Structure 1
Amino acid sequence: MIVLKITNASEVVASKVGKFLERLTPDSFDQSTVEDIVIKKLIENLGAEGLQGEVAVVHGLDIGNGSILVRDHMHVRRHQTF
């Protein structure tokens, strides 16, 4: 299993749409947008290599100090088989 944590979603959105518009969007929107783009590209690239599997965007997990922390309100925001 691979876990990926994106830590600069706001900066990526700001670089694509500009600082002013980024300030008008909530950070959760930025995070969700970047996650959706990453999932789409990940599925395209893995599928092109012949790999099959599942990918999910899970809220309520955190990575830190070599461990994974599971929060009380963990849920799957998006799940897709490829």
Structure 2
Amino acid sequence: MIVLKISNASEVVASKVGRFLELLTPDSVDHAAVEDQVIKKLVENLAAEGLKGEIASINGLDINGDELLIAEGLKVRRHSSF
């Protein structure tokens, strides 16, 4: 299993739409939008390589150093198969 944590979603959104519009959107929207694009590109690239599997965006899961933290209310936000 591979876990990917995106830590600069707000900066990526700001660089794409501008700092002013980024300030108007909540961080949770920024993270969801960036995660959705990453998942889309990963699915495309992994499928093109002939790999099969699943990928998910999960709320309530975090990485802190070598620890995996699970919060109450763990929820799969988006799931895709490839």
Q: TM-score range by the shorter chain?
A: over 0.9
Partner of 1:38 in structure 2?
38
Structure 1 position 18 matched with structure 2 position 12: no
- State how far apart, in whole Å, the 2-side matches of 1:73 and 1:79 are: 17
Q: 2-side partners of 1:16 and 1:61: how far apart?
A: 27
Compute the TM-score of the two structures, normalised by the length of structure 1. 0.98
Q: What is the number of residues matched between the two proteins?
A: 82
Could you tell which deviates more after superposition, 33-42 or 65-74?
Answer: 65-74
Provide TM-score, normalisation by structure 2: 0.98
Taking the aligned partners of 2:32 and 2:19, their CA distance within structure 1 comes to: 18
TM-align CA RMSD: 0.5
**Unaligned segments of structure 1, at least 5 residues:** none
Runs of 4+ in 1 over 6 A off after TM superposition: none
Indicate the percent of aligned positions where both proteins have the same amino acid: 66
Gaps of 5+ in 2: none
User: What SS is found at the alignment partner of 1:5?
Assistant: coil
